[in-house]
Amino acid sequence: MQLIPPPMFVDYDILLACGLLIFWCGYWLVHISAICYGKFKLYRKPKPESSVQLIPSLVSLEHGLPRNNKKQYPGVSILKPLLGVDPNLFVNLSSYFQMKYPMYEVLICVVDQNDPAAMVANRLLEMYPSVDARLFLGGSQVGVNPKINNVHAAYQAAKYSLILISDSSIKMKKDTLSDMVDNMADDVAIVHQVPFTCDRIDNRSEPMTSPLSDTSTDPSLFLKLDGQVEYENQTCKQRRFVATLEKVFFGTAHARVYLTADLVGAICHTGMSTLLRKQAMDECGGLQAFANYLAEDYFMAKLVVARGWRTTISSRPALQNNGGSDLSKFQDRLRRWVKLRIAMVPHTIVLEPLSECLILGACAAWAANTLSGGSIDPYAFYMVHVLVWFLLDWILLNVMQNGPLPFTKFEYLVAWLYREFMGPYLFLTALLWRPSVVTWTTRQYRLRWGGLSEIYNQQPTSSSSDSITATVPIATTTSVTYDTTVPNNYCSTHQQQPTNGIGFTSKIKV
């Protein structure tokens, strides 16, 4: 008589608990790696010229030898896509005219000639006649992506082999471009900056009531309001909290993934400020090859890596210097990024929630309690998990800041807790509420699997209908009138008379 072996039952709870604890331990490695790599990579001091290893493709050679034994920097074409203005646009844009770099050009791109951003650009062109700079109006319709449509004509006209594309909200330090070029090795096609934020005025306890300098001639500073603007209605405490929240997010959760991805060579490219090798881009078909993707930065990096190039980060973070602090707009921005990631990399639906502190801690606490047969208190385990996560984020934030933070430890605690509770909520709402539709600038787009996108709504979104109408006559030798639509945060609270005799008058109707 043949005996039938009893069926083998698999304890799925044990398998799931083991898997969760392995993932939990692996994510602590991500924490430690981000801190160590950030400490190693960020804010590195440039080597003395005598010790710099010269790169043949980036130096001027004379009889096969480097000239004067000094590194010769290549020219860089800087593309600045603009759409509308905010109170910090003039400061941000002027930083590109003041960089310590031997040879570069600034190509400012504005789609609509009636956009007030064109007025700010023209003012800077007048102020810095020695800088090689041009204004491109009209753009090119090469695809769906509005940013690529805006800069495509300037990209075609760029005269240097390196292209820097930088968003309007990015403020550059004088040595940042040199640092980015230093990281452009022979096998590197993209050098990008880790997104971070400036120490904005919103982080201070008192409102700014005077211009940044006596020589500031930002045209937006001369506009007076007959009505109230959303940005001005916000209290200083509200703006301070949002500015603190942005710095905490980009200095912890965002920086952790960004630094670790660069360490292991994974593709994690945010195109806020990115230096491109034009040769590599042209091999991929130019910018127009990515014009049907909203997340063009990810697909740029993906394609150049597939062709044998590398990407790397600069040692200087990208300093976002937005002119307004709006909590709902910040949350909408994060939701848009969630939808884009899901469309491009679908497995993030599972991995992204598990990378959140509160969710991963709860899963790990259950797993530890299950595997220990109940001897480990899940509540104590969870509290220790949150505390250690909180402390490691504080260390990483200080690495990203590389100096004193513009807020107190208590403010950090409040912003950190808010972000950790907000993360799962934003992910869930992005997943459940129209997951394939995103709003960017004044249009809505439908996302397809694989990252392709199409215009969803031809009509402008409600954000543009709530804007302010401005008429700005400029008293110069020739009277010019701009009748345009200006975003709600166009005007700052500054009022100053021009220093060069050029007058600005305005009338804004709400």
Q: Decide: 194 and 313 in contact? Cβ < 8 Å.
A: yes
Residue 18 token pair? 């083991």
Radius of gyration, alpha carbons of the chain: 25
The runs of H, that is alpha helices, within 345-407 are: 348-354, 357-371, 378-401
The residues, ordered by sequence, that sit 6+ positions from 186 with a Cβ below 8 Å of its Cβ are 55, 56, 57
d(CA 215, CA 445): 42
Tell me the pairing of strands 507-509 and 468-475: antiparallel
First to last CA, the chain: 94
> 199 an active-site residue?
no
Residue 282 structure tokens: 């042209």
Q: In Å, what is the CA distance from 346 to each residue of 7, 22, 26, 54, 452?
A: 37, 22, 21, 43, 13
Structure tokens at 486: 């200006």
Residue 164 and residue 99: Cα distance in Å, rounded?
13
Active-site entry in 167, 179, 297, 393: 297
**If residue 269 lies in a helix (H) or strand (E), which one and from where to where?**
none
Whether 262 and 268 have beta carbons less than 8 Å apart is answered as: yes
Handedness of CA 211, 214, 216, 220 (dihedral sign): positive
Enumerate the β-bridge partners of residue 312.
Answer: 191
Residue reference for tokens 């930002």: 218
If 0-12 CB within 10 Å is exposed, 13-18 middle and 19+ buried, where does residue 58 land? middle
Instruction: Identify residue 168 by its one-letter amino acid code.
Output: S
Q: How far is CA 66 from CA 53, 69, 71, 73, in A?
A: 11, 5, 8, 12
Give the active site residues.
297
